[in-house]
């Protein structure tokens, strides 16, 4: 697996206050098979996403999706927006109930969200979002992209997202970003190739 260059700086300080959600995909109709199980080099997309998160220095990692994930969709196949809102509610409820002192069991204030079908994401790119969110104290994403994104002050955001879900059972990620007043930041040109979504067999062929 290709790891970021020596110029990359780990998220480091405050990493225990950050959690990461990997959205593991739904029906994958256009691909025709599970995108999490697709391979890039010697690793599956899911393994690749996990390693990318680990290489940012974020230690608290959760899988979101169907049976077997940490946070399971209560009603599957309603899209990534519904899956994210449901996972965040479960995460906050779980964190509120537990009294464990371990970092993974504490309520994180910040959640990094990435889908399994963006295998070219880099730790450096994710750290740009995380650092911007911390500096601005605001949820952020790259312009013209829905993912990856950083949710800041998640307990506060949860009320807004539950309100959105009450009027739309399958909200888009765009509608979520609008509801939480997330900030769009300019995408550094060097990162643009890394933001490729692999949704179809033709997309997959481009990176295989």
Residuewise pLDDT in 10s, the chain (208 residues): 333 333 345 555 555 589 999 999 766 788 878 899 999 999 999 999 999 999 999 989 999 998 889 999 887 778 999 999 999 999 998 776 554 444 444 557 899 999 999 999 999 999 999 999 999 999 999 999 999 999 999 989 999 999 999 999 899 999 999 999 999 999 999 999 999 999 999 999 999 8
- Ordered by start, the domain boundaries in the chain are 15-203
Phi and psi at residue 101, in whole multiples of 5°? -80, -5
pLDDT of the residue at 96:
64
pTM to 2 decimal places: 0.88
Beta strands in 94-182 (DSSP E): 110-115, 140-142, 149-152
Q: For residues 43 and 40, what is the distance between their CA atoms, to the nearest angstrom?
A: 6
Residue 204 Cα distances to 66, 170, 197, angstroms: 22, 26, 9
pLDDT of the residue at 1:
31
Q: Is the peptide bond before 83 cis (omega within 30 degrees of 0)?
A: no
R_g over Cα of the chain: 16
pLDDT of the residue at 74:
80
Enter the CATH code of domain 15-203.
Answer: 3.90.550.10
Helix 80-97 / helix 154-167 crossing angle, nearest 10 deg = 130
pLDDT of the residue at 121:
98
């Amino acid at each position: 697996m290709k790891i970021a260059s020596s110029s990359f700086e780990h998220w480091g300080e405050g990493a225990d206050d950050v959690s990461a959600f990997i959205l593991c995909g739904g029906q994958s109709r256009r691909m025709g098979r599970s995108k999490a199980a697709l391979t890039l080099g010697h690793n599956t997309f899911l393994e690749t996403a996990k390693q990318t998160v680990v290489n940012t220095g974020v230690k608290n990692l959760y899988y979101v999706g169907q049976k077997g994930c940490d946070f399971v969709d209560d009603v599957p196949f309603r899209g990534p927006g519904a899956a994210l809102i449901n996972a965040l509610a479960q995460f906050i409820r779980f964190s509120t109930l537990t009294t464990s002192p371990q970092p993974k069991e504490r309520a994180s204030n910040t959640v990094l969200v990435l889908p399994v079908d963006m295998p070219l994401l880099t730790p450096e790119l994710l750290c740009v979002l995380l650092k911007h969110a911390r500096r601005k104290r605001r949820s952020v994403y790259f312009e013209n992209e829905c993912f990856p994104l950083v949710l800041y002050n998640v307990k506060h955001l949860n009320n807004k997202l539950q309100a959105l879900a009450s009027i739309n059972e399958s909200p888009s990620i765009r509608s979520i970003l609008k509801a939480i007043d997330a900030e769009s930041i300019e995408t550094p040109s060097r990162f643009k190739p890394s933001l490729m979504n692999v949704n179809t067999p033709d997309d997959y062929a481009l990176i295989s």
